[in-house]
Structure 1
């Protein structure tokens, strides 16, 4: 049985980050993460499941919410008590004019959109695929 994952939009995620200080997990590839990610995010790897506290909130995102939803459900099934899935992904984050950083921790306006089709969904920032 799959336990419920709370699916939220980027604007809601900012409130959760401000008030709950969740662990932020990026469910994208190393290349996507290096180009741009939410500041403070960790790139999700299976090995993290053993090192994260299960009673601490977790916010997961990817490009548009497909990969993050899979990871969020995996976390809930592994016993994590409060898991948020940012359903509009980093594209929703960028379109809301929220900041991202690159692998050096510097602000970036480039967003890895996974593919050319998804790049059409990006309204703010420079699409890379």
Structure 2
């Protein structure tokens, strides 16, 4: 108890940061996470659509072949373009998985049911030695 009293700021910071990390799990978060290999299987077997929500500069450095680019700030505005894919699985990716997780939540709220987050984003895709394109 003495430790907590003497280090109350650090304890508070630890509680807040831990809560922020656990929040998506506690609220039942809007997406299921897929590994790169699970994502490629879903793309091949279920004709999943990949939506890349990174900024244009990130997109231009390389992206998953066949992916559609809709930067996260434009997702709400471009929702009508995605309506035609409402019955297909959507795999959302970004650089590390954080923005895509938020995009998954946005899409679920808009009525998309088959929404999946690429766990680790393009970082994990590249680490898995899967191909990227700049075209």
TM-score (norm: length of structure 2): 0.71
Would you tell me which structure has more helix in proportion to its own residues?
2
User: Contact 2:100/2:118 (CA < 8 Å) preserved in 1?
Assistant: yes
2:55 to 29, 39, 45: 29
1:77 to 103, 109, 131: 109
Q: Compute the displacement of 1:2 (Å).
A: 6.9
Residue 123 (structure 1) aligns with = none
Instruction: Please tell me the root mean square deviation across aligned C-alpha atoms, in Å.
Output: 1.6
Aligned residues: 103
Q: Compute the displacement of 1:51 (Å).
A: 1.9
Residue deviations 1:54-102, cap 9 Å, x none? 2221110011100000001110110012001001111111100100001
Gaps of 5+ in 1: 106-129
Residue 66 (structure 2) aligns with = 40
1:49 and 2:79 matched: yes
**Are the structure 2 counterparts of residues 83 and 72 from structure 1 closer, same or farther at C-alpha, using a change threshold of 3 Å?**
same
Q: Distance in 1 between matches of 2:62 and 2:106?
A: 24
TM-score (norm: length of structure 1): 0.74
Q: Distance in 2 between matches of 1:13 and 1:32?
A: 20
1:68 and 2:100 matched: yes
Mark the structure with the bigger radius of gyration. Answer: 2
